[in-house]
Structure 1
Amino acid sequence: MDYLEIDGGCTLSGEIEISGAKNAALPLLAMSILCKGEVKICNLPSVADIKTMLLLLEDLGASYSYEDECATINTDSINKTEAKYDIVRKMRASILTLGPLLARFGECRVSLPGGCAIGQRPIDLHLKALELMGAEIEIKEGYVLASAKDGLKGATIIFDKVTVTGTENIVMAAALAKGETKIINAAKEPEVVQLCEILNDNGILIKGIGSDELIIHGRDRSLLEIEELSVIPDRIEAGSYLCAGAITNSTITLKKVNHSHLISIILKLQEMGYNFDLNEESITIKPSPKITPISIATTEYPGFPTDMQAQFMALSLIADGTSVIEERLFENR
């Protein structure tokens, strides 16, 4: 598809179901490396990154089947621990296999992820944390070479800045480490919370879920048994549809949505004049007689998400006055 042609200038109406969150699905797919037997992950979004992560798991030796937005994965057959550049270059989140592979097999070789169009997202925080857990790390010919022959050990880790994938990687590594791992300044995003809750429900004691300090009690390379789980709704997709309703001043309803994950977005839309009906798994946005300008500064969850900045910039174009949007997370966005 070279371009999208949009015939606009009309109001919207109706209902739409929100897909599973890609950024929650990817760490859950990587988490399957920590498991024995089959793991069924449902409500997967139909996006390229999901297919790439499944391809990476298959290249490592795992088997999987995919049907009706569900992937059934078995990592018992993994027979190598190298995440190749040809696959990793397609998706930065491939680095999420680093922690699980190292924790389970005691060694791995993972290609460095490619560049990022919206700014630098280095993995040095991941690597420093793994070194504190006893890993030997070397960067060679574009690959991270990691080794922990006697297994990873619990440690206290202080992240210098909030990192979502860094928190996820270390939580998964700590799950199979020996002893207790404490993560200070952990990310609090819903995607991180779901990963922790699933591990906690399946034999990994984790304290502080949802806070910026996590304590993980590892199982010393004892694999998990997880049968089936479902990915949380995509809060950015939901927020984008809410902005579409706001821009067209329409009444639309989102279904299969968790509005507790959307508080910062809903509050900003209410500040602009929009009203909502909130039910257990649905949100309805209603038209506003006057659209008020706003001030927004992007920040980590539970603050305003950087991935909603562009949508609100478009919405601000029809506000009655001057809006100010400040990007604080990515220098090139």
Structure 2
Amino acid sequence: MQKLVIDGGRPLSGEIKVQGAKNAVLPVLAACTLCSREVRLSNCPCISDRYGAARILTSLGGKVRADGTDMTVDCTGIDSSSISSELMRTMRSSIIFMGALMGRTGKCTLCYPGGCDLGPRPIDMHLSAMKKMGAVITDEHGIIECSAPEGLTGCKISLSFPSVGATENILLAAVTAKGETVISNCAREPEITCLADFLIACGAHINGAGGSRITVEGVERLSAPRESFAIIPDRIAAATYLSCCACAGGELMLTDCCPAHMEAILPLFEQMGMYVRSFGSNIYIQKTGGLKAADTIRTMVYPGFPTDAQAIIMAPLCTAEGTTVFVENIFENRYRHTGALSRMGADIRAEGKVAVVTGVPALYGAASEAPDLRGGAAIVCAALGASGRSEITRTELIDRGYDSIEAILSSAGAKISRII
């Protein structure tokens, strides 16, 4: 069993290049299923979920080659529309292969997806949209079979909630459907725009991505981008390294990031008393004194504060002067990291959607296990600023979204190692 061992109390200093976005590369890899030519991608993070998506593509008959953060995907030989339960359960985002396979083959067989246990994350909006576009769907014993003998047909779809996954699935199905598809109340995240940009580069006709209404005019087939398509920077990974600096102290320069995607996050570090400056694709952060509590933090859909950053931002606020209130509006089970932080000495009271964090003078190293991807990252952040040694197990959950987190932090002066 692997674990991360962290000796806290060492200020950070240096430059960190922000990885490509986990939540952007996975739908783009699924979209490659629709392409009639070989696709080249760059800035793909070396994370376990990327490898999971590659295994799905390979199981369908595709060919995937990787050289560091560069990938080449050839789906011209896809000869299957069925994804095994084992592969589906490796990650939540595997569900977006539904739309891609329906667009490519007109049918698919899969099961309910896996991923981190964050509470109920139903896929009813995904299934309802496919049905509206003409798919016939059966769901027996957890196995979902979809088919569209006459092909999918564009229609008007209004989402009851701006779900990222549902928006992605509809986009993937709509780009080769007959006629026009209009998606209302759709997700506006940068990762949606990245997927739309990729599909447009492949020949899709999409308007409105990044807004609350997207229009798609179906085409017969997609080709591939003429040049290598670059995955956008990971705004949650960037927030994580900023939080590491807030916990451990020191200063960091983040490069190859997109400050515009983090407008709901960066002001919180300033509220804490951190010195933060962004310019171009860089963010500079410095801890100049003690931390202060922040205003009430409510997770919301983009452009609001992201639920994926909730645990990460909570870590430094555990030692901030004053009290910060968190309200989690997206997932029901997203305070699982609070137990580990409390064992380190944090004063956190969580009930239902609300967590109240009262700052303490210091945290202390402890043995913990990562409860989920972002909760594990939050424990890493806290451990960097804690007194003594921390050991974190279930590192495979952290590896789902972070490219060699121990190497990145070590390069900035942290004393962190992975024990295999």
TM over 0.5: yes
Q: Is the CA contact (8 Å cut-off) linking 2:93 and 2:165 kept in structure 1?
A: yes
Give 1:275's aligned residue: 275
Structure 1 residue 142, shift from structure 2 partner: 2.1
Structure 1 residues 114 and 317, CA, compared in 2 at 3 Å: closer, same or farther? closer
Structure 1 residue 290, shift from structure 2 partner: 4.3
Q: Is the CA contact (8 Å cut-off) linking 1:256 and 1:282 kept in structure 2?
A: yes
Look up the equivalent residue of 2:69 and give its one-letter code.
E
Give 1:37's aligned residue: 37
Question: 1:1-333, aligned counterparts within 5 Å?
Answer: 1-114=1-114, 116-219=116-219, 221-227=220-226, 228-294=228-294, 295-333=296-334
Structure 1 residue 302, shift from structure 2 partner: 0.9
Q: Is the CA contact (8 Å cut-off) linking 2:134 and 2:148 kept in structure 1?
A: yes
Give 2:347's aligned residue: none
Q: What whole-Å deviation, never above 9, does each CA across 1:105-128 have from its counterpart, x for those lacking one?
A: 111112221375111111110010
CA distance in 1, matches of 2:210, 2:312: 27
CA distance in 1, matches of 2:98, 2:172: 9
Q: What whole-Å deviation, never above 9, does each CA across 1:272-302 have from its counterpart, x for those lacking one?
A: 2222221211110122334221120111111
Look up the equivalent residue of 1:31 and give its one-letter code.
A
TM-score in terms of structure 1 length: 0.96
Note the aligned Cα RMSD (angstroms).
1.4
CA distance in 1, matches of 2:224, 2:17: 30
Q: Is the CA contact (8 Å cut-off) linking 2:258 and 2:282 kept in structure 1?
A: yes
CA distance in 1, matches of 2:77, 2:201: 25
CA distance in 2, matches of 1:86, 1:273: 46
CA distance in 1, matches of 2:224, 2:253: 37
CA distance in 2, matches of 1:210, 1:115: 26
Runs of 4+ aligned structure 1 residues displaced above 3 Å come to none
Q: Is the CA contact (8 Å cut-off) linking 2:91 and 2:115 kept in structure 1?
A: no
Higher mean Cα deviation, 222-231 or 103-112? 222-231
Q: What whole-Å deviation, never above 9, does each CA across 1:251-286 have from its counterpart, x for those lacking one?
A: 110011111111111011112222222121111012
Structure 1 residues 122 and 155, CA, compared in 2 at 3 Å: closer, same or farther? same
Q: Is the CA contact (8 Å cut-off) linking 2:204 and 2:222 kept in structure 1?
A: no
Q: Is the CA contact (8 Å cut-off) linking 1:35 and 1:226 kept in structure 2?
A: no
Q: Is the CA contact (8 Å cut-off) linking 2:20 and 2:233 kept in structure 1?
A: yes
CA distance in 2, matches of 1:145, 1:206: 28
Structure 1 residue matching 2:149: 3-state secondary structure: coil
Look up the equivalent residue of 1:280 and give its one-letter code.
G
Look up the equivalent residue of 2:207 and give its one-letter code.
K
Q: Is the CA contact (8 Å cut-off) linking 2:10 and 2:249 kept in structure 1?
A: no
CA distance in 2, matches of 1:288, 1:248: 12
Look up the equivalent residue of 1:98 and give its one-letter code.
M
Give 2:405's aligned residue: none
CA distance in 2, matches of 1:303, 1:256: 22
How many matched pairs? Answer: 332
Look up the equivalent residue of 1:187 and give its one-letter code.
A
Structure 1 residue matching 2:8: 3-state secondary structure: coil
| Structure 1 spans left out of the alignment, 5+ residues | none
Look up the equivalent residue of 2:281 and give its one-letter code.
E
Structure 1 residues 115 and 44, CA, compared in 2 at 3 Å: closer, same or farther? closer
CA distance in 2, matches of 1:18, 1:226: 24
